[in-house]
Every structure is written in structure tokens, then in C-alpha cells.
Amino acid sequence: MKLPRRKFLKVGASSVALLAATGCDRMPRELRLLLSLQPKENGPFQPPAHESIDLLTHVLNRAAFGARPGDYEHFKKLGGTLTEAASAWFESQLDPDKIDDADAQYAVRRFETLNEPLGELFEYQEDLLQHELMRGTLARAVLSERQLYEVMVQFWSDHFNIDPSKGDCKWLKVADDREVIRKHALGKFPDLLRASALSPAMLWYLDGRVNRRENMAEKPNENYARELLELHTLGVHGGYSQKDVMEVARCLTGWTVRSRGQPPNFQIGKVEFNPAHHDFGAKEVLGQRIPATPATLPPEERDRLGQHELERILEIVTRHPSTAQHIGAKLCRHFIADEPPANAVSAVAAAFSRTSGDIPATLRALFATDEFREQRGSKFKRPFNFIVSALRATGARTDASLEIVDYLHRMGHAPFNYPTPEGYPDKAAPWMGTLLWRWNFAVALSENRIKGTQVDFESLRANAGGDNGLMAHLLGRKPTPQEAQAYHDSGAGLALMLASPAFQRC
């Protein structure tokens, strides 16, 4: 018998609803992601039971975007003590390729542009690229099992900030995120720096593509050279001079990237070195002499030596002690305190120098410091961290919709929207004005008023063992009598906990 289309759709919808009711952890991944569902815990879970934030909770708050329902209990089993469990979790996170992340990877597949080859990105509307880049970043942060990796992706995205609104960056930033930041986020800093220096998006953003010197009267463009020293490596007080900036700019002349509308209109986005635009004269950078390239050499050798000046510059700046100090301070600010403790910075900088910029080894040194272990619940979450941690803590089913991105826009922290090279600030003060919008988001999330996002409050509360267990899960510790009283009196306990001072901090 032929089934009428209307009845077929009705039966199909009922079947999907029935499958969902059985528990989405038992549904096929394809169907879970079609419905924007995250796998739920199979049943009750044990929240933290201490009066204050313990080390495992602290690590999940700082080195991840917070715990999901059941995470604390699951990761607690990694060691005999909380210290051992926290260390085991951290060590596993340092090797993200060994962590099964199939659900997050499958979820991001809906954002097809994120995997497009560089040249084909120009076939898409710039708004679509920007939307999928932001939504993909949000979805990965919420869903990924590789949490430390995602935290470091955010860190390096700020460190090597690119505003996609400038020129061809509208199309090229997608490839930069994939081939520069994500490829090297837990690798070697020198590799990350080199990938950034030769990124088509960075060459556009900081004008490296127009840095040329065809004759002695032409002045090189120093934009990238300045930011390379001031932001990416040595730091503003790293000991370089204006002369160093100009000498670095001279070394980097000749690098360019093919752009839209540039004849012969193919291989758009390809990075090239044009020896006719390079300054082959002698230079001196940070006390290191770079000899002139003789004009009598064969063209191929002269071209090779001109290109090699980029490698020489990167070698000089990555080995400079100020770079280790600058990166160490930024990492300590991000993971420990707005005012990085001097002893911790020294330990992290030493590890960075000793390992030639090995990022996992540097992070291992940071997490071993007393300062990191002791500074618990003191960092104010930036808006992106707040929203992601709220979605994770509530076990929200979400499609990372543009409605959530709009909340990030209103809080001033939408991914890839900062206009200047230093990236989003990593201190509390600039974000204090976002508290009202945080409350609005907490209420909307708890009342299921965000399109594409759903929280099952009753199941969450039941699985946590009731109201006290739910509060302990959200706060990472037992609630104080005042917090518990406010939770019960408010009539909107979930929203109140998400907007509470304790949840706002990590």
C-alpha cells in the first residue's frame, strides 16, 4: 500500500521523537547531530562534594571550558587521588590526536566551508564564511573532548589576531584558522610563527603583501615587522628599537600573495616571493648581522638567499630571551591570574627556552607551578568562555546557532571580530560591562528561549541528585547557605546559578 506523503511525514516525526525519548546516547551519531543533540549521561552522576574548589575541578575550569554533567566523576577515576586524576587528564589532553573526538568532528561537518581548499573559499559569500567560522568554533568548544586543544586554539587566535573584515581576509581567515592556528596549537612555537608569517591572511591583514623595496628611495612597509616584534615574539618591552623594526621590514620585503582581480586571475591566495621587490642589502637585527647578497650570484641562488632572510629573522626572534618571557607571561595571565606571578612566569619562560618553544612542554611547566594550583576560582570568564561553559554545564543540546553568536556580539566577544592586532583582552576589567547580557543569556538558556538550543532542566537536576547536587555541579563545590537560599527563593534557580559570581569565575 502506498503511504500518503502527509502520513509518512507524521509517522517519521513520531519515530524520531520516540528515538529521542529513549535517550540520545543510544541514537546513531548521524541522527543525534541532525537533531542537534549531545549524548546524555546514562543516569545519575556525582558532582564535586568539597566545600571549596578541588584541584580536578580547577583544572577542568582553567584548562577546559568547564565540566559537563558526569565529567567530574568520569575523570576522577583516572587517578587514585584528585591530584593524580588531574595530572592524568592534563597529560592525555597534551596529545589530542589520541583522543576520540568523533562527535565534535561530525557536528562541525555541517559547516562545509571550513574544509574547503584555500582557492575555493573565494567562491563563497563572505558572510557565510564568517558565520560558519564562528559557529564551528563555538560548536568545537562545546562538544570537543580535546578541551585543552580548543582552549589553546582560542589563545593563539588572540595572539595572532586577524580581523576578517580587511580585504581578502574575508575569505582567507578560514584557511588561516585551519592551517595555522589549529594545525600548530599544541605543536612547536617556531612552526606556528612561521606558518603565521607566511599565512595569506596575515600577509593581507598586516600589509606584508605590499612590503617591497625596488629601489633605495622606496620605504618598506613596517606594519607586520612591528607587530612581529611587539605582539608575536619579544613583547612591547622586549628590547627592540625602531631601527630593528625597519631592519626586519627590509628582510621581509618581496613576500606577497595573489589577490582577487589580480591578473592572471588564478591561484588566488597563493603566497609568492618576488626577488625584484626584495632589499638584498646588509642588515642588522637585534645585534645579529645579515650579510648583503651579491648581485653577481645566479638568479636562483640570489632568490633562495632572499627568501632565507625570513627564516633567519624567525630564528633570531624565537631564540631571543624576551620572546620566552613574553609568551610565558601571556600564558600565565591566561591560565593563572590577570597579573601573572613572577615566579610562574620565570618557570614557564625557562621551559619555553629549554625546549625551543615546545608548547606542550611549556604548558606542562605552567600546570606544575604552585601558583596555578593555588589560584582557584579567581579568573573572571571572558564572554565566550562563559557561554561555552554554561552550555557544557547544563548539558545543553545545541546547534551553535547565530542566535548564540549574537549574544557574543552583544558582549563584544564574537570569535574573529576584534579589529586590532593585539586580540581580545585577557583581563577582567574590559568585560565587567557584560554582566547584564550574561544574565539575559542565563535566563534565556534556562527557559529554552534560544533557537536551536535545549536544556532538560528536570533531567539535569534529577541526575545531579537534586537541587543541592545541581548547585554543586554548576559551582564546582558545595553551595554556601546564602547561595542555596537565593537559588530556592529566586524561582529561577538555574539562571541564578549561571549568572552567579561563582559561576562567572573559573
Q: Residue 121, Cβ neighbours under 10 Å: how many?
A: 21
Whole-number pLDDT of residue 266 = 82
> Has residue 155 got a pLDDT over 60?
yes
Lowest mean pLDDT among 264-278, 282-296, 330-344: 264-278
Q: Parallel, antiparallel, or unpaired for β 271-273 and 255-257?
A: antiparallel
Instruction: Give me the percent of the chain exceeding a pLDDT of 90.
Output: 89
Whole-number pLDDT of residue 48 = 97
Residues 6+ apart with CB under 8 A from 266: none
Residues 6+ apart with CB under 8 A from 263: none
**Do 296 and 325 fall into the same domain?**
no
pLDDT, one tens digit per residue, over 362-417 is: 999 999 999 999 999 999 999 999 999 999 999 999 999 999 999 999 999 999 99
Rounded Cα distance between 400 and 99, Å, is 22
Q: Cell 607571561, residue?
A: 329
Range of the structural domain that residue 121 is part of = 102-203
Whole-number pLDDT of residue 262 = 79
User: Cα 408 to chain center, whole Å?
Assistant: 14
Tell me if 69 is assigned to some domain: no
264 — alpha (psi -120 to 50), left (phi > 0) or beta?
A: alpha
**Do 386 and 478 fall into the same domain?**
yes
Phi first, then psi, for residue 290 (nearest 5°) are: -115, 110
pLDDT (mean) for 276-302? 97
When pLDDT is cut at 50, 70 and 90, the band that residue 260 belongs to is confident
Arithmetic mean of pLDDT over the chain: 92
Query: How long a stretch of residues is the chain?
Result: 506
Rounded Cα distance between 456 and 256, Å, is 52
Terminal Cα-to-Cα distance of the chain (whole angstroms) = 60
Whole-number pLDDT of residue 10 = 38
Residues 6+ apart with CB under 8 A from 73: 45, 46, 47
Instruction: Single out the residue in 276, 292, 319 at which a domain terminates.
Output: 319
Whole-number pLDDT of residue 261 = 77
Whole-number pLDDT of residue 2 = 42
> Has residue 11 got a pLDDT over 50?
no
The 3-state DSSP class for residue 170 equals helix
CA distances in angstroms from 404 to 391, 399, 441, listed in the order given: 10, 9, 9
Query: Following DSSP, what letter does each residue of 466-504 receive, concatenated?
Result: SHHHHHHHHHTSPPPHHHHHHHHHHS-HHHHHHTSHHHH
**Do 389 and 489 fall into the same domain?**
yes
Rounded Cα distance between 347 and 368, Å, is 9
**Do 348 and 414 fall into the same domain?**
no
Tell me if 145 is assigned to some domain: yes
pLDDT, one tens digit per residue, over 317-335 is: 999 999 999 999 999 999 9
> Has residue 57 got a pLDDT over 90?
yes
pLDDT (mean) for 114-127? 95
Contact 238, 286 (CB under 8 A): no
pLDDT (mean) for 211-225? 93
Tell me if 76 is assigned to some domain: no
Whole-number pLDDT of residue 28 = 52
Cell of 400: 551553535
Whole-number pLDDT of residue 12 = 39
Q: How many domains does the chain divide into?
A: 4
pLDDT, one tens digit per residue, over 457-480 is: 999 999 999 999 999 999 999 999
Instruction: Single out the residue in 203, 231, 264 at which a domain terminates.
Output: 203
**Do 398 and 500 fall into the same domain?**
yes
Instruction: Give me the percent of the chain exceeding a pLDDT of 70.
Output: 92
Cell of 337: 591570574
DSSP state of 265: -
Instruction: Single out the residue in 166, 186, 203 at which a domain terminates.
Output: 203
**Do 270 and 355 fall into the same domain?**
no
pLDDT (mean) for 28-44? 54
pTM (2 d.p.): 0.92
> Has residue 26 got a pLDDT over 90?
no
pLDDT (mean) for 35-60? 82
Q: Residue 47, Cβ neighbours under 10 Å: how many?
A: 24
**Do 389 and 498 fall into the same domain?**
yes
Tell me if 47 is assigned to some domain: no
Q: Residue 373, Cβ neighbours under 10 Å: how many?
A: 15
Tell me if 11 is assigned to some domain: no
When pLDDT is cut at 50, 70 and 90, the band that residue 42 belongs to is low
When pLDDT is cut at 50, 70 and 90, the band that residue 52 belongs to is very high
Whole-number pLDDT of residue 251 = 98
CA distances in angstroms from 15 to 12, 38, 273, 436, listed in the order given: 5, 19, 59, 41
Lowest mean pLDDT among 1-5, 43-47, 357-361, 438-442: 1-5
**Do 393 and 490 fall into the same domain?**
yes
**Do 362 and 462 fall into the same domain?**
no
Whole-number pLDDT of residue 32 = 52
Tell me if 35 is assigned to some domain: no
Tell me if 182 is assigned to some domain: yes
**Do 499 and 457 fall into the same domain?**
yes
